[in-house]
Amino acid sequence: MRIVSLFLFAAVLIVAGFAATWWMRPVTPPQAPQSLAVPLPEPCRDVAFEGRTHIVCELDPAAHDIRIVHEDVNGKPFGSLLAFDAEMAGQGNTPLLSMNAGMYHKDLSPVGILVDDGREKTPLNLDDGEGNFFMKPNGVFMVGRDGRAAVMESSVYAQTLPDTLYATQSGPMLVIDGKIHPRFEPDGTSRYIRNGVGIDMQGRVVVAISRKPVSLGSFARLFRDELGCRNALFLDGAISTLTSAGKVVIGGKHPAGPILTVLEKR
């Protein structure tokens, strides 16, 4: 009887040991679901430049419907790229891509000129002030009624008054007649995810957004040296966002004032 009791006692100790080992095992945290990368639309590609990768989209105004938009049918700012994309999708016209395209006030109204479908919603701003917008020369991206696109200094736009269908004003210019903006350091310490627009030698609209933070100097050289743009305009930094088919490719759910959008021509 005593042998049986010792046996039972030993069995209890073994079971208790296994239980303690099981409860004290390292716990593997549940794996977060991996988000699938949003494929780039057809006119876009990844471009490596000076150790950083950028998404670059080369758009032919003859094949793509390039617009600057800001307000919905009720006259209120869309507020974000995703809100705009969703409204367009509801109309059966999902944009090929959309990008924030100019600086704005707290109420999301544009700081500079905005022309939407031939109607000037906000006038050209030639004032002086603080911040990137007023780092002269600043500039205007426009699409004319003749279908051709251009990037030009704001003062040149004021002098020439082109027949404009769509336009947005931002600053500073990145490249001016083949020269980097004179106030840029070669590779300054101010670095953000940035986006901009230029016109290449073939007359294509070239939009770019960095995948990682980049300096203004390096971003300007991307347009001039890699993409062949003699004129290019900085659109924004830190809140820079690119969407495609209603999904965010780069950036986040940031507020947006003016929006550059691209649709397939019908």
Along the 266 residues of the chain, how does pLDDT read in single tens digits? 444 444 444 444 444 444 433 333 333 333 333 334 788 988 999 999 999 999 999 999 999 999 999 999 899 999 999 999 999 999 999 999 999 999 999 999 999 999 999 999 999 999 999 999 999 999 999 999 999 999 999 999 999 999 999 999 999 999 999 999 999 999 999 999 999 999 999 999 999 999 999 999 999 999 999 999 999 999 999 999 999 989 999 998 899 999 999 998 87
Number of C-alpha atoms within 13 angstroms, CB side, residue 114? 21
Question: Would you say residue 111 lies in a domain?
Answer: yes
239: left (phi over 0), alpha (psi -120 to 50) or beta: alpha
Question: Would you say residue 77 lies in a domain?
Answer: yes
CA distance 82 to 253: 7
> In residues, how long is the chain?
266
Domain limits at 258? 44-264
Question: Would you say residue 85 lies in a domain?
Answer: yes
Which residues does 143 contact at the CB level (< 8 Å), separation at least 6? Answer: 61, 66, 67, 68, 149, 164, 165, 166, 167, 205
Question: Would you say residue 22 lies in a domain?
Answer: no
Question: Would you say residue 59 lies in a domain?
Answer: yes
Question: Would you say residue 15 lies in a domain?
Answer: no
Question: Would you say residue 129 lies in a domain?
Answer: yes
Scored b (16 or more CB within 10 A) or e, 218-256 reads bbbbbbbeebebbbbbbbbbeebbbbbebebbbbeebbb
In this structure, are residues 66 and 101 in contact, taking their beta carbons and an 8 Å threshold? no
Domain count, the chain: 1
Question: Would you say residue 239 lies in a domain?
Answer: yes
